[in-house]
Structure 1
Amino acid sequence: MYKLAIFIPESHLEQVKSAMFQAGAGRIGNYDQCCWQSKGQGQFRALSGSNPYIGSQGEVEYVDEYKVELVCDDALLVGVIEAMKSSHPYEEPAYDVIQLVDL
């Protein structure tokens, strides 16, 4: 089992979550579409060669985003990440993949 943490702009929150849920993420026992989300502010600066969805190259940009955390079964991990990337508006989405230990 893995936990994924993804940073999503507010404008695409439900779209990205929906794609990941459809790919099988967020299932815990007899429940589905389980996640934790918290609102915050991200920042980045697009470098030369980038194609930013928001902002301009060379300028620091601040964006209201949600950090969404959800679990994913080992066998579904690659498909869930592909679904996230294809539905996310950013050229380079920021995300973490954390392997969980069952104790």
Structure 2
Amino acid sequence: MYKLVFFVPESHLEPVKQAVFDAGGGRIGNYDRCCWQVLGQGQFRPLAGSQPFLGCTGELEQVAEWRVELVCEDVEVPAMIAALRRAHPYEEPAFDLWRLENL
């Protein structure tokens, strides 16, 4: 299994979660659409050549973003990451993917 953690602005929280769930993420036993989420603040500065969804090139941007965590089976990782990239509004969505031990 893997754990996916991604960051998304509130405007796209539900559509991105839905896309990841539809790709197989968030299943634990006899439950689906399982995740944990918390609101925080992200920051970034778009560099030359970027096409930012928020902010302006060369200027530091701070924005409220949701951190969403969920698990998925190994075989679902490629489809889940592809769905995340398609549904996410950012040119470069920030996410972590961790392999989990099965104890």
Q: Name the TM-score class by shorter chain.
A: over 0.9
Distance 1:75 1:46 in 2: 34
Distance 2:13 2:6 in 1: 10
Q: Deviations over 1:5-54 (max 9, x none)?
A: 00010100000000000001000000000000000000000000000000
Map of 1:97 onto structure 2:
97
Aligned length: 103
Distance 1:63 1:93 in 2: 14
User: In the TM superposition, what are the counterparts of 1:41-56 in structure 2 within 5 Å?
Assistant: 41-56=41-56
SS at match of 1:84: helix
Distance 2:102 2:79 in 1: 22
User: In the TM superposition, what are the counterparts of 1:48-87 in structure 2 within 5 Å?
Assistant: 48-87=48-87
Structure 2 length-normalised TM: 0.99
Structure 1 length-normalised TM: 0.99
Map of 2:29 onto structure 1:
29
* Unmatched tracts of structure 1, length 5 or more: none
Map of 2:3 onto structure 1:
3
Residue 15 of structure 1 aligns with an amino acid whose one-letter code is P
Distance 1:45 1:82 in 2: 24
